[in-house]
Chain A
Amino acid sequence: MSFPIPDLVPAIPEMFVLAMACTILVVDLFLKDDRRDVTYGLTQFTLFGALVLTWIVHVPEARVTFSGSFIADPLSDTLKSFIYVIAAGVFLYSRPYLKERGLFKGEYYVLGLFAVLGMLVMVSAYSFVTLYLGLELLSLCLYALVAFDRDSGRASEAAMKYFILGALASGMLLYGMSFLYGLSGSLEIPVVAEYLIANAGQFSVPLTFALVFVVVGLAFKLGAVPFHMWVPDVYHGAPTPVTLLIGSAPKIAGFAIIMRLLADGLGAMHADWQGMLVLLAVLSLAVGNLIAIAQTNIKRMLAYSTISHVGFLLLGILAGTQEGYAAALFYTVTYAIMAMGGFGMIILLSRQGFEAENLDDFKGLNERNPWLAFMMLLLMFSMAGVPPTVGFYAKLMVLQAVVQIGMTWLAVYAVIFSIVGAFYYLRVVKLMYFDKPADEPLPVRGLDVTVVMSVNGLLMVVLGIFPGILMSIAALAVGP
């Protein structure tokens, strides 16, 4: 009996991350609490190594391996790179926060790395099974991380909600996938796509039925209305570093599975899922932006802002054109960077026993630390879509894609709610610049965090003035 050995080369980055995660898990056991920085260093090394490996084994053509359940193509390699970088930023921002609260434990990094692994699997998934397993791997890590601060009742509650609703959504996704399997006879995305193309124009009712379940599952993971209820509670309840993790890199993975499932696999049913995404996007834009206005907690506010950004992301995808996909990718990456900066700023301003998570905590930041205030201003401007920040371009490109397919009304609608959204972003700016500060001293932060925050904030402007760089990457990744 002989076993064919699959081509392992395209999966080297995943294998590296897995091996390192296990290594760190073991190494951490032998470290004393004051040597925990070793774990942190190893984690960052892992991400860096994975980034390097990804591009060492990169080839321009798509490669499918593991009997058709894994794909490495420009899209996956690009998205993975962004995931590494953003995850590295997340870990960097988190360190001082965790240290101050006695949460600086190896498990945070191990679970974080496993979450990264889950995202990598999602990005490279080429069959329903791997896609689902990747999603579960990521979700499981996130559930655990949300409850990481065990002494916080709010965190436990959030984790519980997240877990149960996540299980429900996973069930729906799986149910939809099982239908697709039953109809097409295969779990592999390209085979399903072929089946659909062969049957184009005469889709049976169960196919649409399955599609609804798949879309609902995806909508939950992204946090689109009305499957968004977990987002504010989880963002608010989780320790800020975990919010930071949930809010940034997984969106990129979410974009990947949408691309794989809807664009690649179910591309032939574009007309059907377009309608569903329109509905989700319309609701997300309205609910996200409106409720965000009423928030006083900045983490909750950013959670609702996430929901509205998801609406924009869906706009790009529902266009169903290459420009639309590229715009959505651009938007996702931009959003991930913005979210990282936004939550990172909350971490930067928090200190032991004090969470800078209320809007009022940002009062008069300009007087206390003009540079950080300026960075926050850039981030808020970018989220609101004020030119010349990159957020403006991201929105512009998505709207262009929507207008191109003739849905001008949708673009106008999105713009109107962007304006509504601008209110609560600019309120933060107003608080920082025009209100009197409370007398709380600001915590002193290390050079690494400050530098990364500066890079993060300035990136908003740099990418806004030179959007061509990111745009060409996005266009290249989405393919011709």
Chain B
Amino acid sequence: MSFQLAMFYIFSAILVGAAAAMITVRNPVHAALCLVLAFFTSAALWIMMEAEFLGIVLVLVYVGAVMVLFLFVVMMLDVNIARLREGFIRFLPVGALVAAAMAVVMIMVVGARHFRIEPPAPAATDVGNTEMLGRLIYTEYVYPFELAAVILLVAIVAAITLTLRRRPGTRHIDPAEQVKVKREDRIRIVKMEAEKK
């Protein structure tokens, strides 16, 4: 067993363990952190496969941005864990049965012997993974790439549509108005007669 293979199994084991932990731990914050760990190890696997760019992007985007956002949400929302667990336990036997059946089936079916993909030849050292990816994305896969972009656009539109609402009654500060304010707007000098005693 080469060092590389040993590393692969180590990372894989951590990945599977982290994924399993993520769906079993009680605390959602812990679960999110487990997911972060899973991301990290898969990034490591990517890098071992000479896909440095993907590995780095995984860390940057998912770990750096998405998961942090997730954590915010989880912490801000008050999720009733007890109720979730109740359902979990009630359906655990059936679920476990089905899951076991699935697992058996998949183990029986899935095996490298069926797949005809040759291990790719190691890339030439003078071409960066990033450049290769970029070139493919803008030539051969330009259509799917653009479609992915459209999907992201739709996601943004949808998110804004569903969440942005201007309630008529809310009080908010308009910075532009604030800047434009003059002295006269703030203070009004009123001359009054002295009060008679």
Contacts and interface: CB of A to CB of B under 8 A. Distances in A.
Nearest to A195: B116
Contact of B150 (A114, A127, A204, A206): A114
B interface residue count range (under 10 / 10 to 19 / 20 to 34 / 35 or more): 20 to 34
Given A144-B162, A204-B114, A137 B141 contact: no
Nearest to B112: A182
Interface in A167-206: 182-185, 204-206
Given A134-B147, A206-B109, A3 B158 contact: no
B155 interface: yes
Interface in B73-115: 105, 108-111, 114-115
A150 B162 contact: yes
Contact of A205 (B109, B139, B140): B109
Given A70-B143, A129-B144, A140 B158 contact: yes
B161 interface: yes
B161 A183 contact: no
B179 interface: no
B20 interface: no
A183 B114 CA distance: 7
B24 to A, nearest CB: 20
B196 interface: no
A140 B143 contact: no
A3 B134 CA distance: 12
Contacts of A219: none
Contacts of B143: 6, 11, 66-67, 69-70, 130
Contacts of B161: 105, 107, 111, 144, 148
Nearest to A144: B158
Nearest to A110: B157
B114 A206 contact: yes
A130 B144 contact: yes
Interface in B113-134: 114-117
Interface string B6-44: 000000000000000000000000000000000000000
B139 A3 contact: yes
A143 B151 contact: no
A45 interface: no
B69 interface: no
B142 A6 contact: yes
A interface residue count range (under 10 / 10 to 19 / 20 to 34 / 35 or more): 35 or more
Nearest to B160: A107
Nearest to B110: A206
Contacts of A136: 151
A127 B109 CA distance: 25
A4 B139 contact: yes
Residues of A contacting B: mostly: helix
B148 interface: yes
A182 B148 CA distance: 22
A298 interface: no
Given A144-B161, A144-B162, A183 B147 contact: no
Interface in A20-41: 22, 25
B60 interface: no
B154 interface: yes
Given A111-B154, A148-B161, A206-B109, A133 B148 contact: yes
Given A137-B151, A206-B114, A129 B141 contact: yes
Given A140-B151, A182-B115, A185-B116, A133 B157 contact: no
B72 interface: no
A183 B158 contact: no
Given A66-B142, A147-B162, A185-B116, A130 B147 contact: yes
Contact of A111 (B135, B141, B150, B158): B158
A3 B144 CA distance: 17
A42 interface: no
B165 interface: yes
B154 A140 contact: yes
Contacts of A66: 142-143
B138 A3 contact: yes
Contacts of B138: 3
Nearest to A107: B161
A233 B85 CA distance: 25
A308 B189 CA distance: 78
Given A3-B139, A67-B139, A147-B162, A111 B114 contact: no
A105 B157 CA distance: 13
A434 interface: no
A53 B65 CA distance: 42
A137 B157 contact: no
15 contacts: A6-B142, A67-B139, A111-B157, A130-B147, A133-B148, A143-B158, A144-B154, A150-B162, A182-B114, A183-B115, A184-B116, A185-B117, A206-B109, A206-B110, A209-B105
Interface of A: 1, 3-4, 6, 11, 18, 22, 25, 66-67, 69-70, 105, 107, 110-111, 114, 117, 121, 127, 129-130, 133-134, 136-137, 140-141, 143-144, 147-148, 150, 182-185, 204-207, 209
Q: 10 tightest A-B contacts by CB?
A: A144-B158, A66-B143, A133-B147, A107-B161, A182-B115, A67-B140, A129-B144, A206-B114, A209-B109, A114-B154
Interface of B: 105, 108-111, 114-117, 135, 138-144, 147-148, 150-151, 153-155, 157-158, 161-162, 165
Given A70-B143, A105-B161, A182-B114, 18 more contacts: A3-B138, A11-B143, A22-B153, A67-B140, A67-B141, A69-B141, A107-B161, A111-B157, A130-B144, A133-B144, A133-B148, A133-B151, A137-B151, A137-B154, A140-B155, A183-B116, A206-B109, A206-B110
